[in-house]
Amino acid sequence: MSNPPTNGERPADGAPLLDVSELTVHHGQLRALDRVSLRVFPGEVYAIIGANGAGKSTLLRTIAGLHRPTGGVIWFDGQDVTKVRPERRAARGIAMVPEGRRLFESLTVEENLQVGATYARKGPWTIERVYEMFGWMAERRSQRTAQLSGGEQQAVAIGRALVANPRVLLLDELSLGLAPVVVQRIYGMLPQILATGLTVLLVEQDVSQALRVASHLQCLLEGRTTLEGRPSDVTAEQVEAAYFGLARAGQESDSLWSGSTTSSRES
């Protein structure tokens, strides 16, 4: 396998780990995704940005196998997984941290991590390793996750996905509902995660945060791709136009860069 690309660079050769081609997904009559394509290479952080309802979660959930597309193909490590069941995709190395964490709140921290480890692949991530990464977690292993703060719950959700030893980690809106300082702390863990060989595909409404960590980005608007490229190659104006659509870009750009496009935040 080729070396992982450094931040901002993509391998000139080599195969993508995840190759999504012309993906179309409907929720009933609504076309939530319209021929969206993306290629995620080993070791990179690929960010999907876009406003509420742009189709970001639908994209991640379809890659994880939770929605059935009406068109297009999903290739993972060279194999067509479009019709593969979600648990089989997990076994092949696709794990997701869902929007809103979705922990088992009546279970303890450790029990939640054990759930993630149930059908784990072989690899570097263990519950102990998650405890090493999040220093506070081991001594609170017996606490129910309902008693944790939003940021702590997010950390457990990440840990639960990591202990499955995925090859690609799908992160859905990590920043949602969290104070900026907590968001920084959570994203501060990414280098440690990438160092174990993982590839990350993340969804973010917080555009500044996405641009800070991504090596490649794509913007969705109403289910369609409106921008794709390396963060260093796109201008703020291009991002604004792609995010809001040309007509609204000027009026709403301030909220985009302050990160206040996300819904209400908690501390």
Interface residues with ligand ATP (CB under 6 A) are 27-28, 30, 32, 50, 52-58, 99, 205
Rounded to an integer, what distance in angstroms lies between the CA atom of residue 75 and that of residue 97?
Answer: 20
Query: Long-range CB contacts (< 8 A, 24+ apart) of 252-255?
Result: none
- Taking the complex as a whole, the smallest distance from the CB of residue 53 to ligand ATP amounts, in Å, to 4
Nearer to ligand ATP, 8 or 68 (CB): 68
Nearer to ligand ATP, 52 or 142 (CB): 52
Length of the chain: 267
Nearer to ligand ATP, 66 or 73 (CB): 66
Q: Please give the single-letter amino acid code of residue 20.
A: V
- Taking the complex as a whole, the smallest distance from the CB of residue 133 to ligand ATP amounts, in Å, to 27
Going across the sheet that includes 168-172, the strands are 94-97, 168-172, 199-204, 45-49, 216-221, 224-229
Structural contact between residues 59 and 36, judged by C-beta atoms closer than 8 angstroms: yes
Nearer to ligand ATP, 93 or 223 (CB): 223
- Taking the complex as a whole, the smallest distance from the CB of residue 54 to ligand ATP amounts, in Å, to 4
Nearer to ligand ATP, 127 or 221 (CB): 221
Inter-helix orientation angle 150-162/109-117, to 10°:
30
- Taking the complex as a whole, the smallest distance from the CB of residue 187 to ligand ATP amounts, in Å, to 17
